[in-house]
Amino acid sequence: MGSAVIRRDKPSVLVVRGREDVTRLLSQTPLFFAYRGPHGDWFKEVAERHAESAEWHLLPPAESKAATRRELLTGGFIRLRDTVVVDQSRCIWCGLCAKSCPASAFEYVEGKTLRVKYEVCIDCGLCNAVCPVAAVKMPSLPDGYLADLIKTAPGPLKFICDYAFQDGEEEGVRVKCIAAVPRQYLYLAAARHGEARAHCFRGETCPLWPAVERWGAGLRREGEDFVAQAERSPLQPGDRWHTWMLGAAVGMPVGVVKVAEGCTLCGACVNVCPTNALTLRGHELRLTPALCVACGLCVDKCPEKVMTVELAPVPNPYETKTLFRDQPARCRLCGRELPYTESMARRVAQRLRESRLPSDHVYLCEECRLKSSPA
Ligand code: SF4
Ligand code: SF4
Ligand code: SF4
């Protein structure tokens, strides 16, 4: 009775030239590493190495389908969905996946639950692109595969979406949607040859466009191409976080946090930062931009609502920058340093006044407080 094992379809490698019709091949499996262009041998060598180790077994079936008797007998296969999978054990709870998802397809409880609601998910892969630690992955776009393509590419790399690949005009490496490509890999690809491109075939008419729009913010547009440019550098991409750190060095936008007047150096932001980008040193709040993924957790948790964050290229991104500096508060009577900052004292005193409570003692050291309190 033949191999009764249900064979789930497996990524295959597709290299085409010109407008060769690929629809028949695509109907056989949605999972493939594919390329159109003049460097087929290069691509085949890299892709075949990764097709073998791809984690296709993690993927949900494309349609809820039990194996038929015929499949049982003939060793048929179940069509897999080219989408994302999550590995909660790797998650640092930055929340970027759930915040970025254009379909609100995440069940997300910080520190507890991380699940993709596949019934809602549109398979855009954006959550894969924004996850700094590959706790969200896309088996049809493994990081190792991207890194090897970048390290070995004979010329500027171009990623083209599935629609463009099927259309047959554009040359490049096929991805399900360009929004699935972690941008740090695009920047490392750009650093190899000066620029790298990602081609979105259908633009605003595509159901996945909301994901591309978010993904492409800050990249130069040239027609249907999103273009990343970077300083030339032989830096070698690696895993997701390692490549993020390198991307920062070649001009990839990283988190730029700003702190306005009113910060009390309470440290709430430092405690929630999932990448340790923020530190408190003495009476200074500091940021290492290369570590900031602009998740916005610090902004959300800041009790004084004085923080903002945006993505932007930063010169010397590994250099720790002071975001806010304050002086220690001093006793108004003896001048001794108090165990909190000027702004904290100001804030506490203000709150006490708002509650019509005495506030002068905030600016006194313990000794002077005792001396000045009525016997
Ligand atoms: S693949 Fe796209 S739609 Fe699905 S969970 Fe991720 S971001 Fe949301
Ligand atoms: S983006 Fe990645 S690390 Fe951040 S919450 Fe989502 S899965 Fe976790
Ligand atoms: S500094 Fe703020 S925005 Fe940046 S990673 Fe930390 S918590 Fe997120």
CA of 88 to the centre of ligand 2 (A): 8
Residue 114 Cβ contacting ligand 2 at under 6 Å: yes
pLDDT digits (tens, 9 = 90+) for 8-22: 566 678 888 776 667
Look at residue 375 and tell me whether its pLDDT is greater than 80.
no
Task: Name the percent of the chain lying above pLDDT 70.
Answer: 89
Tell me the domains of the chain and their CATH numbers: 3-229 (no CATH), 253-325 (3.30.70.20), 329-372 (no CATH)
- In 3D space, the residue among 147, 131, 204, 216 whose CA is nearest the CA of residue 178 turns out to be 216
Residue 314 Cβ contacting ligand 3 at under 6 Å: no
Look at residue 112 and tell me whether its pLDDT is greater than 90.
no
Please give the number of the atom of ligand 1 that sits closest to the Cα of 123. Answer: 1
According to the model, what pLDDT value does residue 139 have?
92
Closest residue CA from atom 4 of ligand 2: 94
Residue range 213-231: average pLDDT?
Answer: 95
- In 3D space, the residue among 189, 57, 210 whose CA is nearest the CA of residue 125 turns out to be 210
Task: Name the percent of the chain lying above pLDDT 90.
Answer: 71
CA of 133 to the centre of ligand 2 (A): 7
Beta strand pairing call for 225-229 and 278-281? unpaired
According to the model, what pLDDT value does residue 1 have?
43
Question: Among 44-48, 52-56, 183-187, 264-268, which is the least confidently predicted range?
Answer: 52-56
Q: Tell me if 188 sits within 8 A of 224, measured CB to CB.
A: no
> Phi and psi at residue 37, in whole multiples of 5°?
150, -170
Q: Which of 86, 104, 106 to mutate to test the pocket of ligand 1 (most atoms within 8 A of CB)?
A: 106
Contacts with 197 (C-beta within 8 Å, 6 or more apart), sequence order: 156, 157, 158, 159, 172, 222, 225, 226, 227, 228
CA of 117 to the centre of ligand 1 (A): 9
Residues near ligand 1 with C-beta < 6 Å? 83-84, 101, 103, 105-106, 116, 121-127, 211
According to the model, what pLDDT value does residue 369 have?
87
Which tops the pLDDT comparison, 194 or 11? 194
CA of 206 to the centre of ligand 1 (A): 15
Residue 149 Cβ contacting ligand 3 at under 6 Å: no
> Phi and psi at residue 173, in whole multiples of 5°?
-90, 125
Ligand nearest to C-alpha 82: 1
Contacts with 12 (C-beta within 8 Å, 6 or more apart), sequence order: 29, 31, 32, 33, 51
Provide the pLDDT confidence category of residue 76 given band limits of 50, 70 and 90: low
Residue 288 Cβ contacting ligand 3 at under 6 Å: no
Closest residue CA from atom 4 of ligand 3: 292
Closest residue CA from atom 7 of ligand 3: 273
Closest residue CA from atom 1 of ligand 2: 131
Look at residue 26 and tell me whether its pLDDT is greater than 70.
no
Question: Among 250-254, 302-306, 339-343, which is the least confidently predicted range?
Answer: 339-343
Strand ordering across the sheet containing 32-36:
12-16, 32-36, 172-175, 158-161, 195-199, 225-229, 220-222
Q: How far apart are the first and last CA of the chain?
A: 98
State the Cα–Cα distance between residues 126 and 147, nearest whole angstrom. 18
Look at residue 349 and tell me whether its pLDDT is greater than 50.
yes
CA atoms 80, 57, 150, 183: torsion sign: positive
CA of 306 to the centre of ligand 1 (A): 31
CA of 274 to the centre of ligand 1 (A): 21
Residue range 121-150: average pLDDT?
Answer: 96
